[in-house]
Amino acid sequence: MIKKINLHLILISFVLVGNSAWGQTEYGDTSTQQIALNHIKDVYNTAIGEQSRLYNGPEYDVYNPVIKGNANFLDKDDFVSGSVIYDGIFYKDVPIIYDINRNLVVARLYNKFSKYILLSERLQSFDILNHHFIHVRVDSLNTNAGINDGFYDQVYKSGLEVLAKRSKSILSTSGTITLETYFSATSHSFYLKKDNNYYGIGSQNALLNILKDKKKELLQYIKANKIKFKKTPEDAIVAIATRYDELSK
């Protein structure tokens, strides 16, 4: 009963401070109100504990331990602190792993033992290991979307947007006696969003053809800065996209 009353008080405070902060956004400094609002959010997320809306996914089915390596982003073999936006609510300091083989975000239950899946359809974005992933949702009727539904690393966003798809697969090799199964190295696919359209980027020419209205200037920029697409495609795409946005201002 006490816990329920405390939660109600927290929620009332959240609304009062929130209304005060949002009502003054246009006219004054809201830093004090925003700090108070963020504090109330933190207290609320801590207080609800087991009642958190995060704890509603199925149990995570772990891989067979005979598979060498792991399926996780940046090869992390344990949970790391991250943040998520789930059902439109921001949660910070959530212990998560990102399984890039199954394309699933996994969290640790409040008992610090059980692993469960954050439902992808309710997960808008998450931050892990200094990377920001967004959930790209593709209309099932749009066969020319240029990208599949799933989580993408948002490596650049301004006028253009650059996304990276990180993935692993399970491979097997047969020896003279045994069969060895292991996770592959991470593969990366890159996409450019321009004018609400997504384009897969597999080469420098493909990128420049999309940005053809500034192609001459971009070629000069690439040459002057010795950008090597084949060697570091991700860095090259971000640099070229950034330069395109600068030229488009």
pLDDT of residue 6: 45
Residues in the chain, total = 249
pLDDT of residue 231: 95
pLDDT of residue 177: 76
Residue listed under structure tokens 């991250």 = 82
pLDDT of residue 49: 56
Q: How, if at all, do strands 80-86 and 89-99 pair?
A: antiparallel
- Distances, alpha carbon 143 to alpha carbons 26, 147, 166, 211, in Å: 42, 9, 22, 23
pLDDT averages per 10-residue partition of the chain, 249 residues: 41 44 44 64 53 82 95 95 94 95 91 87 97 88 73 97 98 83 97 93 96 97 97 97 96
Helix residue ranges, H only, 31-171: 31-48
pLDDT of residue 117: 96
Distance between CA atoms of 184 and 74, rounded to whole angstroms? Answer: 12
